[in-house]
Amino acid sequence: MVFRSPGDDHGVMTDSQWVPLSGSLRPALAEAEVLGPLDADATVTATVVLRRRAELDVAALSEPLAPEEFADRYGASADDLDLVRTVLTDAGLTVTDAHAGSRRVSVRGPARAMTAAFKTELNRVRYGETGEFAARSGELQVPAELGDVVVAVLGLDERPQARAMFRRHKKAAAKGYTPDQVGQLYGFPAGTDGTGQTVAVIELGGGYKPEDLTKYFSGLKITEPKVTAAGVDGGKNAPTGDPNSADGEVALDIEVIGALAPGAAQIVYFAPNTDQGFLDAVSTAVHASPTPVAVSISWGQSEDQWTPQARSAMDQAFADAAALGVTVCCASGDNGSADGQTDGAQHVDFPASSPHALACGGTKLDGTPPSTVNSETVWNTAGGGATGGGVSDAFPVPDYQKSAGVPTRAGDGKPGRGVPDVAGNADPATGYQVLVDGQQIVVGGTSAVSPLWSALLARLAQSAGRGFGLVHSKLYAGVGAGKAQPGFRDVTEGSNGAYSAAAGWDACTGLGTPDGAALQKLLGGKAS
């Protein structure tokens, strides 16, 4: 068979001149109505991820790297970038951006050129309340000369990739805590407020109203933090006016971070809810200037709902972050040990399951502010959600967890990365008072725990004078099965379905909830 690329002037290529792109196989979207082929002239975008110059072993780095040094050592080479530009331009695509440090090349072009370049078909589909969008199925291919250079091609498919991990308390009279009260109960270190630090926040929908933030922080008598919205891939701060929409997630993230670390600047990256948008938002945040101390991610999806190439690309973006001194905090999910899947198996949420992410699980916190914790158990409310956690099917047990007593996966007995690493208050019944679209509501979910830990890390970094990157090596130092870990309050009661809490690390709350003052000492901070 002979393939003629778009516009006969680009020449003729045979099937042997393409190679399969490993990990790109994508199933058709179940229950979606196929409306027909995407218009050949419709504009389509993609993010092409390139190989590294050299293999990156974050654990072997003694100090964070400056962005320029990182790009020179572990980014894409100039030769690889030039080759990708040339080949894809010859295929009728336009290269709109190229970033050596994050190894990404952004391309756009008509659907006919994109489908020809990557040997795929694009259809218009209708899917439930999501509406109509472009989708692909099957495996991608790349021109043979790029076979060793390109490791992922994301985009071409607009299906929603992730869900927000927040839950509104059902009772209108629910009181909850203010975020700063939770910080007091967890002993966040005195004399710190995150000054001099930047926290990046990833959002895949919704938006915030500046007047809500002004009113919220004024009500708490907390100095309003500097919050900046940044658009990625056409995303923007676009509040819907509905507090039950993604607006609830956006407000929760900003207000928890702002109440706990008001001195830290926040940059909120808005991107489309696709695998391409998600990766581009994270990579943009990680490689931004100034380098953030933490990235807060409260969006995710069961590991099996990601293509292997997308999982790998995101995990490696998190490895970039760690090498640059950035800690990525990810919500572990709100649907228990099955992560909301109905196949009868146990699943963990990604990107929390990345070994380069600080996975954040959830508890039910009964406390009397400012300093009395009466009890704390695993968050698991009948019909109201439960903390995600378990054993990864995609990533092996990382070195830092090998002595932690991570069990084999419930159901099939296979080993893997244990989720979560840490925990915090997440039960909507003991949730956080936030202001969303002019309404005061109480919200919970592991969505609240990721910004809580991001804010804590900003304060600890202020105290220590540096960021922590892959902080796991210090948090897990000396860990042993069944042994409580310094810097944490061990949570030993409750379950999330297939896994139960126990002394030491467990697949519900990880190492436990934070003891801020103890973590300050552990991470080299100076007590005020």
Helix (H) or strand (E) holding 269, with range, is: strand 265-270
Instruction: Return the number of other C-beta atoms located less than 10 Å from residue 41's C-beta.
Output: 8
Q: What is the pLDDT of residues 75-126, one digit of tens each?
A: 999 999 999 999 999 999 999 999 999 999 999 999 999 999 999 999 999 9
Mean pLDDT value across residues 415-441: 96
Model's pTM, two decimal places?
A: 0.95
In percent, the amount of the chain with pLDDT more than 70 equals 95
Residue 211: phi and psi, rounded to 5, are: -65, -30
Instruction: Identify the pLDDT of residue 231.
Output: 98
Q: Is the pLDDT confidence value at 454 over 50?
A: yes
Annotation says 493 is catalytic: no
Helix (H) or strand (E) holding 81, with range, is: helix 78-90
- Could you give the 3-state DSSP secondary structure of residue 233? coil
Nearest CA-CA partner of 364 in 508, 519, 188, 171: 508
Q: What is the pLDDT of residues 469-505, one digit of tens each?
A: 999 999 999 999 999 999 999 999 999 999 999 999 9
Catalytic residue among 249, 320, 339, 393: 249
Residue pair 392/348 in contact by the 8 Å Cβ criterion: yes
Instruction: Return the number of other C-beta atoms located less than 10 Å from residue 270's C-beta.
Output: 26
Instruction: Return the number of other C-beta atoms located less than 10 Å from residue 341's C-beta.
Output: 15
Chain-centroid distance of CA 147 in Å reads: 28
Q: Of how many residues is the chain composed?
A: 528
Domains of the chain: 18-154 (no CATH), 163-524 (3.40.50.200)
Instruction: Identify the pLDDT of residue 11.
Output: 42
Nearest CA-CA partner of 40 in 110, 126, 135: 110
What pLDDT band is residue 12 in, cutting at 50, 70 and 90? very low
Catalytic residue among 233, 253, 275, 427: 253
Annotation says 447 is catalytic: yes
Catalytic residue among 354, 447, 454, 495: 447
Annotation says 82 is catalytic: no
Name the average pLDDT for the chain: 94
